[in-house]
């Protein structure tokens, strides 16, 4: 058999990968294993590299473009993108139905009830079944061209399936699912970056990125719910079916019902299922199913008369406030937390809720013993909204915010303009412990075995006050700790040895300087090269470093002004930790120092051996492709890590290249 020509093979692979994306992301019914997907993706990328004349901007390999835009081009919508009127209760839905009867006359009024996705409205244009343009809603008349960012949305089909009209205009919602939202906020917390309040804000930020590689990292998703032009489909239920048949993602569950009473029931059911959905919704949309009559009903200045949004009330619960706990964080911030009688809220059992700060408690007059309303705010930890004053018995106790640190009794201070009270005592054991926990955390020095129990005991005994003290611990001393035997002590020493090989960026992050997250630490080290040089840099120099603003510059400068902090850095250097940036390949440093390598596929050597040799050569071997991964080592087959690497702009290398970098003289463990 003659092999198919490259052109045919490219076309077949593109078709197969488009289909695989659809099955995986839209239908949740994968047809290819990760390894199979990966093999085809690589084959296609290799063929495309050989045939630039066959370039296609809609190839599955082109979801993320390398180019960074200057600004978004304005897009005038062919017809305005309207909004919806809101209904807050059952009566307003009944009134909506009555109005339609007055306008359209008597007759059956069937409705479609859809989830109201809490994201951003987008207009999409397909030409000849191929994705041609995507725009934000903007002011409804003119939006912004976000085509490049929308291409990174995995469930947006680049090419539609089946019989597709020549030109098709659609409307849908870009959103972030709960899983991604929570993971993103965890990443941001580790980086010391502000958290997103809700998935909608996170999605909005992603859609408006000028660099589509950053947009790709947000892993935005899409639901489509309207055909604006290009196809005459008489009923909304059939619109949703047709959209799905073209391979577009349609939010489930939706229902077609025969009258407003049934629609109200469907809205209620959706409200009850809200917590079980993978995506955020803030209500339900009720649409007249008959689209010709829907158009006939006309429009108000901003919304169609035959469609209405029912907004769900924010999810709240009531419970008793049993106590207010006050804890001291790494920076000395003293924060109050409500301990409440456990209650179910949005699908989880809640026993603690945020009280923010002293002002919040005072302004809302929250008292211990109150029945309080709690709600999910940023969805991570619930917050107290306020007391239910009608239910007071007179037994409630006003809360007096402590004026001394609950741990070391030092009088608290409050900087002008700051909400938080802080413990100013640099030797406060609570701050020390929190600081050490940060130092050993995964994003910093990643020191296995040093958990709260071990560190708590070391701090309590007075043996360890700061990170440098850790590196003076002996096997014998470690063995005296509760529940630490000879073997655990040896592991702790190994963990200390491993910490000595961590790149200086991670050490700097681990020091816990205010506003210095992982990314800023990397930027500071890239610019100055060593902790000694960083200590000498003045504020102006610091503020001139990319990603470093005046607030960060002032904080870093102040930290290094403190003689105790300077001594700490000297002691860490004396303990053998890297305090200079290691630039491979310098003879003094290891050949892979500074690299953080994830592995995928089958390598020519066993994976465990590869991992050992990479670590011995100075690399950090990572479980997955993360924000700080520098290389993806890929062998035969492999998984979606390759795609993630492409999305994050991480270079993919083969084993032979790394072996060459490690060199013949690379230390064999
Ligand atoms: S229909 C003429 N259906 O809600 C308006 N909108 O509050 C057509 N939304 O701007 C919109 N889910 O961004 C429709 N299933 C759904 C929706 C939905 C979310 C958004 C949309 C609209 C906003 C109005």
User: What SS3 class is residue 404?
Assistant: strand
Cβ-based neighbours of 293, under 8 Å, separated by 6 or more: 104, 306
pLDDT given at position 305: 96
**How far, in Å, is the centroid of ligand 1 from the Cα of 84?**
7
**How far, in Å, is the centroid of ligand 1 from the Cα of 316?**
24
Q: How many helices (H) and strands (E) does the chain have?
A: 25, 23
Beta-carbon count within 10 A of 171 CB: 17
Cβ-based neighbours of 364, under 8 Å, separated by 6 or more: 384, 386, 387
Q: Tell me which DSSP letter residue 605 carries.
A: S
Mutate to test the pocket of ligand 1, among 279, 287, 309 (most ligand atoms within 8 A of CB): 309
Q: pLDDT (tens digit, 9 = 90+) per residue, 217-229? A: 899 999 999 999 9
Integer Cα distance of 480 and 495 in angstroms: 18
138, two tokens: 């903007």
207 with 293, same domain?
yes
129 with 256, same domain?
yes
Q: Tell me which DSSP letter residue 425 carries.
A: -
Residues whose beta carbon lies within 6 Å of some atom of ligand 1: 82-84, 114, 116-117, 121, 173, 225-226, 285, 304, 307, 309
**How far, in Å, is the centroid of ligand 1 from the Cα of 302?**
12
Compute the average pLDDT of residues 528-544.
93
Integer Cα distance of 580 and 280 in angstroms: 45
292 with 144, same domain?
yes
307 with 325, same domain?
no
Mutate to test the pocket of ligand 1, among 79, 83, 143, 295 (most ligand atoms within 8 A of CB): 83
CB 340 within 8 A of CB 350: yes
Question: Is 72 domain-assigned?
Answer: no
Q: pLDDT (tens digit, 9 = 90+) per residue, 413-461? A: 998 888 889 999 988 999 999 999 999 998 899 999 999 999 999 999 9
Beta-carbon count within 10 A of 462 CB: 9
- From 574, 600, 626, give the residue that closes a domain: 574
Closest atom, ligand 1, to C-alpha of 304: 2
Distances (CA, A) of 625 to 6, 251, 286, 600, 630: 31, 29, 42, 10, 9
Closest atom, ligand 1, to C-alpha of 303: 2
- Average pLDDT over all residues of the chain: 90
- C-alpha dihedral (63, 64, 70, 74), degrees to nearest 10: 20
**How far, in Å, is the centroid of ligand 1 from the Cα of 98?**
22
Q: Which residue lies with its CA nearest to atom 5 of ligand 1?
A: 83
Integer Cα distance of 519 and 506 in angstroms: 10
Pairing of strands 333-345, 371-376: unpaired
Domain count, the chain: 5
Integer Cα distance of 191 and 509 in angstroms: 9
Q: Phi and psi at residue 189, in whole multiples of 5°?
A: -60, -45
Question: Is 393 domain-assigned?
Answer: yes
pLDDT given at position 2: 43
Integer Cα distance of 358 and 166 in angstroms: 62
pLDDT > 90 fraction of the chain, expressed in percent and rounded: 67
628 with 565, same domain?
no
User: What SS3 class is residue 240?
Assistant: helix
Residue from 116, 151, 287, 641 carrying the catalytic annotation: 116
**How far, in Å, is the centroid of ligand 1 from the Cα of 62?**
29
Question: Is 410 domain-assigned?
Answer: no
Residue 411: pLDDT over 70: yes
26, two tokens: 């839209």
Cβ-based neighbours of 50, under 8 Å, separated by 6 or more: 6
What CATH number should be reported for the domain holding residue 647? 3.40.50.10190
Compute the average pLDDT of residues 596-601.
88
Question: Is 372 domain-assigned?
Answer: yes
Full domain range(s) for residue 634: 587-662
143 with 20, same domain?
no
Q: Which residue lies with its CA nearest to atom 22 of ligand 1?
A: 83
Question: Is 69 domain-assigned?
Answer: no
137 with 50, same domain?
no
| 641 tagged catalytic | no
Compute the average pLDDT of residues 367-387.
85
**If you average pLDDT over each of 120-124, 328-332, 352-356, which comes out highest?**
120-124
Q: Which of 121, 498, 113, 127 is nearest to 312 (CA)?
A: 113
Q: pLDDT (tens digit, 9 = 90+) per residue, 124-181? A: 999 999 999 999 999 999 999 999 999 999 999 999 999 999 999 999 999 999 999 8
Q: How confident is the model at residue 297 (pLDDT cuts 50, 70, 90)?
A: very high
Closest atom, ligand 1, to C-alpha of 82: 2
Question: Is 669 domain-assigned?
Answer: no
Q: How many CA atoms lie within 13 A of 191 on its CB side?
A: 17
Q: pLDDT (tens digit, 9 = 90+) per residue, 214-262? A: 899 899 999 999 999 999 999 999 999 999 999 999 999 999 999 999 9
Q: Which residue lies with its CA nearest to atom 7 of ligand 1?
A: 84
- From 552, 574, 596, give the residue that closes a domain: 574
**How far, in Å, is the centroid of ligand 1 from the Cα of 106?**
27
Residue 195: pLDDT over 80: no
Mutate to test the pocket of ligand 1, among 171, 249, 285 (most ligand atoms within 8 A of CB): 285
């Amino acid at each position: 058999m003659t092999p198919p020509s490259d052109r045919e093979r490219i076309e077949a692979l593109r078709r197969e990968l488009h289909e695989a994306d659809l099955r995986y992301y839209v239908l949740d019914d994968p047809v290819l294993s990760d390894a199979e997907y990966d093999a085809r993706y690589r084959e296609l990328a290799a063929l495309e590299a050989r045939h630039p004349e066959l370039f296609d901007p809609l190839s599955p390999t082109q979801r993320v473009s390398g180019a960074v835009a200057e600004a978004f081009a304005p897009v005038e919508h062919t017809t305005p993108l309207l909004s919806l009127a809101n209904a807050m209760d059952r009566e307003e839905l009944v009134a909506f139905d009555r109005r339609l009867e007055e306008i359209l006359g008597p007759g059956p009024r069937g409705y479609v009830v859809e989830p109201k996705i809490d994201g951003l409205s987008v207009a999409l244009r397909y030409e000849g079944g191929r994705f041609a343009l995507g725009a934000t809603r903007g002011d409804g008349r003119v939006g912004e061209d976000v085509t490049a960012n929308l291409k990174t949305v995995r469930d947006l089909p680049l090419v539609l399936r089946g019989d597709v009209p020549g030109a098709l205009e659609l409307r849908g919602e870009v959103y972030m699912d709960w899983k991604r939202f929570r993971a993103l906020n965890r990443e941001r917390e580790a980086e010391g970056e502000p958290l997103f309040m809700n998935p909608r804000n996170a999605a909005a930020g992603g859609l408006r990125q000028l660099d589509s590689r950053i947009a790709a990292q947000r892993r935005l998703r899409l639901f489509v719910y309207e055909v604006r032009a290009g196809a005459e489909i008489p009923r909304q239920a059939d619109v949703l079916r047709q959209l799905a048949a073209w391979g577009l993602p349609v939010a489930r569950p939706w229902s077609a019902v025969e009258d407003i009473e049934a629609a109200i029931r469907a809205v209620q059911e959706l409200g009850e299922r809200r917590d079980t959905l993978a995506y955020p919704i803030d209500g339900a949309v009720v649409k007249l199913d008959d689209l010709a009559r829907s158009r006939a009903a006309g429009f108000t200045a901003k919304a169609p008369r035959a469609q209405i949004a029912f907004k769900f009330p924010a999810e709240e619960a009531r419970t008793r406030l049993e106590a207010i706990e006050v804890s001291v964080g790494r920076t000395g911030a003293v924060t109050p937390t409500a301990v409440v009688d456990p209650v179910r809220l949005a699908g989880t059992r809640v026993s603690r809720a945020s009280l923010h700060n002293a002002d919040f408690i005072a302004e809302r007059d929250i008292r211990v013993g109150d029945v309080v309303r709690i709600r999910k705010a940023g969805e991570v930890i619930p917050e107290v909204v306020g007391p239910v004053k009608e239910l007071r018995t007179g037994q409630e106790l006003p809360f007096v915010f402590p004026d001394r640190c609950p741990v070391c009794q030092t009088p608290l201070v409050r900087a002008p303009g700051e909400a938080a009270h802080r413990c100013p005592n640099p030797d406060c054991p609570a701050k020390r412990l929190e600081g050490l926990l940060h130092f050993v955390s995964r994003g910093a020095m990643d020191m296995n075995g040093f958990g709260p129990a071990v560190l708590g005991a070391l701090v309590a005994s007075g043996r360890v006050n700061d990170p440098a003290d850790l590196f003076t611990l002996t096997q014998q001393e470690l063995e005296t700790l509760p529940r630490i035997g000879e073997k655990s002590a040896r592991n702790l020493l190994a963990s200390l040895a491993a910490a000595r090989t961590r790149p200086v960026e991670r050490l700097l992050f681990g020091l816990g300087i205010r506003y210095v997250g992982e990314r800023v630490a990397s930027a500071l080290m890239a610019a100055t090269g060593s902790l000694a040089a960083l200590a000498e840099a003045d504020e102006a120099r610091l503020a001139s470093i990319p990603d470093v603003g005046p607030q960060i510059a002032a904080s870093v400068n102040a930290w290094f002004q403190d003689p105790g902090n300077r001594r700490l850095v000297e002691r860490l250097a004396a303990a053998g930790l890297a305090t200079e940036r290691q630039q491979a390949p310098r003879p003094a440093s290891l050949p892979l120092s500074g690299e953080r390598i994830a592995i995928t596929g089958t390598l020519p050597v066993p994976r465990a051996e590869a991992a050992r040799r990479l670590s011995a050569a100075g690399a950090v071997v990572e479980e997955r492709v993360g924000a700080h991964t520098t290389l993806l080592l890929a062998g035969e087959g492999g998984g979606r890590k390759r795609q993630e690497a492409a999305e994050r702009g991480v270079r993919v290398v083969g084993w032979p290249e790394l072996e060459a970098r490690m060199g013949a003289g690379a230390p064999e463990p």
